[in-house]
Structure 1
């Protein structure tokens, strides 16, 4: 979420607090949760799961992504799918959607890295499910018209460590919630 959502918040924060050092840790939510629990980081903008709670910010739609120039994976059986690492909510939602739709698929690639998953799409060897905010314009968004099921959205939260009770942390968390919130959709 760093590149697509947090840049304006960080820009404003650094203007107001120019002498505060921010260490940015870009990692999957499954890695950030233990870092919060161990007080190694103060705040995390993460996907909510059963172990990782926080203040709700937004629901992020999951979409299927394929190569804009090579639709070959869509014709393959079983469907080659690139998945986030085991333990991630995005992976669980993707697999649940495929299973519920009775689509034969194979976990062709697995990566904790968005860039790793995008490389499989770029190569035309798999499709992946990503948050809409993470899809580069050069890729094709796929959906029900392509025989693919809807995927449950991800709930994005701001989670805090127990030692993050400082004014600068309060401000940054408040700005994340305020600037990045979108109303929950009822479904």
Structure 2
């Protein structure tokens, strides 16, 4: 009898899990292509002292991009999944050109701008700027546990979501999502 009760309990747990795993119960805040993205548990405020380095070795405060929706992508040339999604990030940047939107691909490479420039040229990446976080300070401040990790920041400077791993960044639903975020800021 105890064994039968265990199987009944297990069946109920599996049934309930199946119900909550259906699309009707999915978080509709993000498109399906970004289903691994999680919303921040706090108010989503961006740390104020985040500074990245541009291709000219100039320090640029992230909050200088306020007013734009920003996709911050932490990546490295030696990271296989990062390399895999880089053409889609490049295409997203091309699709969103002329809009208050920025793909900020922050390289974690220690080789500096030359290494990233060489990678971009070799792989036909022409719509992304060279941006660096060579000591991983931004990655630490933003709580990245690995690469690639991406953050969506709205035009008011609030983190809307964090995604660990790759995504289909140039999918139409993702572009629609970013257009909706832009509209909320305007």
TM-score of the two chains, using structure 1 as the length reference: 0.23
**Between structures 1 and 2, the one with greater strand share:** 1
Which structure is richer in relative contact order (CA contacts within 8 A, separation 6 or more)? 1
Highest CA radius of gyration, 1 or 2? 2
TM-score of the two chains, using structure 2 as the length reference: 0.23
